[in-house]
Chain A
Amino acid sequence: MESLNEIKRDTLGALLEQGKRPDGRGMHDYRKINLQPGILQNPEGSAIASIGKSQVMAGIKFDVAKPFPDRPTEGVLSTSADLLPLASHLFETGPPSDESIELARVVDRGIRSANIIDLNSFYIEEEKVLALYIDLFILDHDGNLIDTAALAAMSALLSARMPKVENGKIIRGEFTGKLPVKEKVVTCTFGKLGSKSFLDPSLDEEKGMDCRLTLATTPKHLCAAQKGGWGTVTEKDLMELLDISLDKGNELRSLLRD
């Protein structure tokens, strides 16, 4: 497999030199994006997002939980990702892989640092707060799972309803309104090979590239970032890609329904 990736790297590099990509896209174009919010009835929020042939389902579920000792009045936010074995011949059954943990943590950091959910409003009573679980189910893998998962998570949060809480318990199936979400966080992931960078790498491109850079933004701020892979980015790259992310971020935000 390694030699195949070397070939992919050579072909991709040659194409990028000519300003082209394997599927004919521009350097800063996303593949086709599709969102389906609110598709499940059991969880409080849900969505499927797809970018090209990558598909991710997000489920939002509330429970009553014990707060963390150092934050006794704050709700709990927890994000997990499952790289389902049906999504790709590359995924295996078993405990969470490094890749799935990184994926969940990057999506989590964007949502958490932008403070788009007021965790203080999740306080119920002493030793009792609401916990919000975001579960990311990777259904189909054709590259750029981070952006696909972040879109699914955001779309599911925007579709989510607040459960009714009585006597310290959730009354399932009854709601008090929408989950208040202050802003929309989106991520833009770039691939890099040599000095060339390109938005939304497909699986084919991921196999040939040196590294990736993910930038999570709100309309005005960078709120999370992650570099992955052995390659490097320069300061200049970083500033340029941040400009593109803030710009492209607005495009992604316009796809997300309030």
Chain B
Amino acid sequence: MGGNSAEKPALLVNGKRVDGRGVEDLRSVKIVARVLNDAEGSAYIEWGKNKILAGIYGPRECIPRHDQSLYRAVVKCRYNMAPFSGAEEHGRSGPNRRSKELSKVIKEAFENVIISENFPKTEISIFVEVLQSDGGTRCAAVTAAAVALADAGIPMKDLISAVAVCKIDGQIAVDPGKEEDNFGESDMPIAFSPRTGEILLFQMDGNLTRSEVARGLELAKNAVSKIRAVQVEAIKKVYDEPKEDRFLLIG
């Protein structure tokens, strides 16, 4: 989908994808919570080759004050990609149109589940840093941020999870990798509230028939239940195996 001019490779051969997965298989997802010292909550996620760090501050005084709400905490989000995160050229640091849009849709997903009425005049900040990208960073970012918010003790209606579905060589598949993202026919990232089944983040580009959309939703829902299990495990581990030192240990 990335408008890559290179020649499109075969994405599905005998039901196997470029990395050997079947259409319903996720890449490996690992989450470690509480890896930072100063942030009130944090989580590190490795999703395939994606490596993403989420940190939470708040509820704290909302600055500037004209952003404050008398009724609830203001949720803020910054999704940022490291200039060295991609496999291609060195990126520019700082926000761009893509990162601003993703920050907005991620923020809106969490605005639904955070019980913000408890904290008027404050802000809750979600900071996401993509250290290495390999397709599907926004879904991995939502998944990590949910764990970091739970680690920070922010009250939420649900622990949300996200995954994308794609169409590769005419077939619907879950969790597209970078190549499938670049050369696939469609990409549809979705964040769910697993408890209610409600959709909190929804984007799509490409071409899908009505039945393909339905199939995509079904695959995404199945995948999200697996991701939720990893999230819950990561939060439990913080309390089952408390650690003196907080380190971001990679690999």
- Choose among B53, B89, B133 the residue that contacts A139 (Cβ–Cβ < 8 A): B53
Can you name 18 A-B pairs with beta carbons within 8 Å? A40-B84, A40-B250, A42-B87, A53-B246, A59-B83, A85-B55, A85-B57, A85-B127, A86-B36, A86-B53, A87-B55, A89-B60, A133-B84, A135-B93, A139-B248, A140-B37, A140-B38, A173-B87
- For the residues of B in contact with A, the DSSP-based class is loop
Tell me whether B248 and A59 are in contact (CB under 8 A).
no
- Chain B residues positioned under 8 Å from A123 (CB to CB): none
Q: Kindly identify which residue among A36, A42, A63, A133 contacts B49, using a CB–CB cutoff of 8 Å.
A: A42
Within 8 A of A (CB), among B63-86: 78, 80, 82-86
The count of residues in chain A whose C-beta lies closer than 8 Å to any C-beta of chain B is 39
Q: Which A residues lie within 8 Å of B250 (CB)?
A: 36, 39-40, 48
Other than A34-B247, A39-B250, A137-B131, give 11 A-B pairs with Cβ distance below 8 A.
Answer: A46-B84, A53-B246, A61-B90, A82-B93, A84-B129, A86-B53, A86-B54, A87-B36, A87-B55, A135-B83, A135-B84
Closest to A133 in B: B90
B83, B88, B131, B249: the one within 8 Å of A172 (CB): B88
Query: Which residue of chain B lies nearest to A53 when distances are taken between CB atoms in the complex?
Result: B37
Is A204 close to B, CB under 8 A? Answer: no
B57:A89 contact, CB within 8 angstroms: yes
- State which of B51, B83, B85, B88 has its C-beta within 8 Å of the C-beta of A133: B83
**Could you tell me if A41 and B93 are in contact, using CB atoms closer than 8 angstroms?**
no
Closest to A36 in B: B250
Decide if B125 is an interface residue (CB 8 Å cutoff). yes
- What DSSP secondary structure best describes chain A's contact surface? strand
**CB <8 Å contact, B55 and A86:** yes
Is A80 among interface residues, defined by CB-CB distance under 8 A? yes
By a CB distance below 8 angstroms, the chain A residues around B88 are: 172
Query: In chain B between 16 and 64, which residues have their CB closer than 8 angstroms to a CB of chain A?
Result: 36-39, 42, 49, 51, 53-55, 57, 60
Is B15 located at the chain interface by the 8 A CB criterion? no
- Report how far A50 CA is from B80 CA in the complex, Å: 22
**Nearest neighbor of A86 in chain B, beta-carbon distance:** B55
Considering the complex, give the chain A residue whose CB is closest to the CB of B49: A41
Q: What number of B residues sit within 8 Å (CB to CB) of A?
A: 39
The CA-CA distance from A137 to B83 in the complex, in Å, is 10
User: 10 closest Cβ contacts across the A-B interface?
Assistant: A59-B84, A86-B55, A86-B127, A39-B250, A43-B84, A61-B90, A53-B37, A42-B87, A61-B84, A133-B90
Against A, the Cβ 8 Å flags (1 = close, 0 = not) of B93-117 are 1100000000000000000000000
Residues of B within 8 A of A57 (CB): 82, 131, 248
- Chain A residues near B249: list those with CB within 8 A: 36
A42, A50, A62: the one within 8 Å of B133 (CB): A42
Q: Is B251 at the interface (CB under 8 A from chain A)?
A: yes
Choose among A39, A95, A139 the residue that contacts B251 (Cβ–Cβ < 8 A): A39
Judged by a CB distance under 8 angstroms, whether B161 is at the interface is no
Cβ of B132 under 8 Å from chain A: yes
Among B36, B37, B132, residue most surrounded by chain A Cβ atoms (within 10 Å): B37
Say if the beta carbon of A55 comes within 8 Å of chain B.
yes
A33-84 residues at the B interface, CB under 8 angstroms: 34, 36, 39-43, 46, 48, 50, 53, 55, 57, 59-63, 80, 82, 84
**Smallest CB-CB separation from B57: which chain A residue?**
A89
Minimum CB distance partner of B94 in chain A = A95
Instruction: Tell me the minimal C-beta distance from B245 to chain A in angstroms.
Output: 8
- Are A42 and B85 in contact, with the CB atoms below 8 A? yes
Complex interface: chain B residues within 8 A of A89 (CB): 38, 57, 60
